Structure 1
């Protein structure tokens, strides 16, 4: 059974790169350039993990993550916040994210993080 990941970023280059990496790892990838209706997007994608950019329109990664973590049936899904913000660890904590990844990141960091969280999820 392949794992599913939902990637939310308004930067098409990042989406392309991440999609390529995860598909090569055998993931089923769903991506979106906004986090509107975040609950509906996650329900529809049914991912094992969510990767979300802090600066995504409209409400941003922190608020979108808070909404997911406040949702009884979605809060167990690991959410990883990624951003170039220098205070990313504080943002991730405020969001209730399970982890964070600093941009720019390299391939190994991305793969390691994904494997770590997929192993621990459902």
Structure 2
């Protein structure tokens, strides 16, 4: 069974690159570009891992991470937070993500982090 990864990223180019990498590595990928889309897609299926951008049109990835980690249905699911903000890692610490990746990112780093968290 393929592991499902949900990417919450409003930059379509970044989402496409990550989707291409993960699909090539035999993961099932879901993408949303807003918090509203993420909530809608969670009604249909729960992923094995979340990748969240920090700056979103209708929310903040750090707040979303905190919500996922405090929710009974999703608190066990690993979360990777991504940000281009140099203060992003420090800001995300209290939300308890399982990993943090700085933008611009290295594709090998993303793949290694995902393997470490869910494989």
Could you tell me the TM-score, scaled by structure 2's length?
0.92
Structure 2 equivalent of residue 87 of structure 1: 87
Match runs of 1:1-122 below 5 Å: 1-36=1-36, 38-119=38-119
Name the stretch that deviates more: 37-46 or 57-66: 37-46
Distance 1:112 1:86 in 2: 22
Runs (5+) with no aligned partner, structure 2? none
Which segments of structure 1 move beyond 3 Å, counting only runs of 4 or more? 37-43
Distance 1:56 1:19 in 2: 18
Contact persistence 2:8–2:51 (CA under 8 A):
yes
Distance 1:42 1:75 in 2: 13
Q: What is the deviation of 1:38?
A: 4.5
Runs (5+) with no aligned partner, structure 1? none
Paired residues, what number?
119
Q: What is the deviation of 1:94?
A: 2.1
Query: Do the aligned partners of residues 96 and 38 (structure 1) sit closer, same or farther apart at CA in structure 2, a change above 3 Å counting?
Result: farther
Could you tell me the TM-score, scaled by structure 1's length?
0.90
Q: What is the deviation of 1:88?
A: 2.2
Query: Do the aligned partners of residues 70 and 31 (structure 1) sit closer, same or farther apart at CA in structure 2, a change above 3 Å counting?
Result: same
Q: What is the deviation of 1:40?
A: 4.6
Distance 2:39 2:69 in 1: 10
Cα deviation 1:57-109 (Å, max 9, x = unaligned):
21110111111111012101001000111122212212221111000011111
